[in-house]
């Protein structure tokens, strides 16, 4: 996966932009799976579930990427369990603003409750089905989940752990391009960002 112009390696947004670029790449993989006639639905769902779970983990941990210590602590705790509700609670303790905020509030964005729902479903699909189970596993609605992830991330505000700055992140500028980050003022109470500073823009 390539990246466009990145801030210097020591810049707090360097790792975040790389992680968001990886999210885009993984979303492309999931999108390419939808409707593929060469694979049976269960196999498509299992491959998509793996990518979607990785995307969720990237979303959850991305804002800690500027703080090596906080990121290491969070990963250490997460490796002892795979519970999404507990993961989000632990991350909020470390960094209350860890979850990305859509620039404009919309019901078509992945909420924390939906995050947990998708994480749990994806995790179940990564295990072989119980041959004695009465019901098959619930099919994965790939288009629905991709839409909610796009609604959350396409244009969102991010605040890195231990940093006061708020960044406006665009995942698709243009759609085939790389992640675009602009330093903004602190978000207003209406959820919108202040005026961007073009001198602190990275692609």
141 contacts 47 by C-beta, under 8 angstroms: no
Cβ(145)–Cβ(138) below 8 Å: no
Between 158 and 44, the more confident residue is 158
The two most distant CA atoms of the chain are separated, in Å, by 61
Supply 201's token pair.
């823009």
Residue whose tokens read 């707090």:
12
pLDDT, one tens digit per residue, over 7-43 is 666 777 888 999 999 999 999 999 888 766 666 767 8
For 116-142, how does the pLDDT look when each residue is reduced to its tens digit (9 = 90+)? Answer: 999 999 998 887 776 666 655 678 899
The model's pLDDT over 90-119, given as tens digits with 9 standing for 90+, comes to 889 889 999 999 998 889 999 999 999 999
Beta strands in the chain (DSSP E): 101-102, 155-158, 166-170, 180-184, 197-202
Q: What is the pLDDT of residues 175-200, one digit of tens each?
A: 567 788 888 854 454 544 444 444 45
- pLDDT computed for residue 35 by the predictor: 63
Per-residue pLDDT at 152: 97
Higher pLDDT, 166 or 127: 166
Closest CA to 194 of 132, 68, 103: 103
For the chain, give the percent of residues with pLDDT over 90: 41
**Residue from 5, 2, 37 nearest 21 by CA:** 2
């Amino acid at each position: 996966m390539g990246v466009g112009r990145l801030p210097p390696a020591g810049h707090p947004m360097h790792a975040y932009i790389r992680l968001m670029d990886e999210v885009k790449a993984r979303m492309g993989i999931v999108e390419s799976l939808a409707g593929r006639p060469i694979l049976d639905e269960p196999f498509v769902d299992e491959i998509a579930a793996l990518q979607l779970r990785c995307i969720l983990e990237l979303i959850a941990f991305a804002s800690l990427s500027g703080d090596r210590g906080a990121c290491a602590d969070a990963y250490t705790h997460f490796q002892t369990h795979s519970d999404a509700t507990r993961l989000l609670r632990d991350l909020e303790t470390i960094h209350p603003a860890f979850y990305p905020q859509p620039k404009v509030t919309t019901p078509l964005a992945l909420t924390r409750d939906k995050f947990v729902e998708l994480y749990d479903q994806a995790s179940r699909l990564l295990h072989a089905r119980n041959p004695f189970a009465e019901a098959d596993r619930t099919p994965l609605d790939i288009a629905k989940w991709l839409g909610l992830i796009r609604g959350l991330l396409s244009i969102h505000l991010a605040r890195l752990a231990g940093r006061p700055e708020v960044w406006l992140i665009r995942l698709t500028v243009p759609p085939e391009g790389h992640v675009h980050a602009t330093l903004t003022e602190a978000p207003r109470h209406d959820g919108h960002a202040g005026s961007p500073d073009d001198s602190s823009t990275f692609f």
